[in-house]
Structure 1
Amino acid sequence: MQHAEPDRTAEGRKAARAGRKARRQNSWKWRMSRIVFHILWLPLLLAGALVGGLLIGYSVIGGEPPGEVFSLELWQHLYDMIYAEG
């Protein structure tokens, strides 16, 4: 059994590429992944910037161990300093 020779012309490649693109864009998974990406990319980027800024500010600039920035005691102490009556 002989296989059909693939169309190696520019028009054939363009038609094959358009067919693959149409199938990909029409699939349910592709649409959902695009929606999820468009909703989540900015909040994830902002959360990463916040964590990176906390780590750099507390450990590099402040000279403290980087793991302490995630301790609850540190944040309770800061809250008490800001909102203390007195």
Structure 2
Amino acid sequence: MEQGKGRRFPRDTEEVRTKPRERERSGRNWRVTIAKIVLVPILLFFSLVIGLTIGYGVVGHKPTAEVFDLGTYKHMWDLLFANT
């Protein structure tokens, strides 16, 4: 069985050495990077709001408008840390 003794590896050939550098390719992807930085927090915020409305309104059988009321979260805070 021949295991390639005496053969040159692809990293030693000229084909691999003539590849473009990473620095040259990363210059045109700045739009994608900016889009990720801006879109990810926006999508996380909207998924939080949607999750709160579904969890409080549908699963909890409460009025959905109470999700956006600050008094609701003050009440939950008081319930959680009443004995501390």
Q: Select between 48-57 and 38-47 the one with higher mean Cα deviation.
A: 38-47
- Deviation above 2 Å: which 4+ runs of structure 1? none
Structure number with larger C-alpha Rg: 2
Q: TM-score, normalised by structure 2?
A: 0.57
Aligned letter for 2:60?
G
The RMSD of aligned alpha carbons is: 2.1
Correspondence for 1:83: 81
Gaps of at least 5 residues in structure 1 are: 1-25
Counterpart of 1:84 in 2: which secondary structure? coil
Q: Which has the higher helix share?
A: 1
Aligned letter for 1:63?
H
Q: Percent identity?
A: 40
Q: TM-score, normalised by structure 1?
A: 0.56
Gaps of at least 5 residues in structure 2 are: 1-27
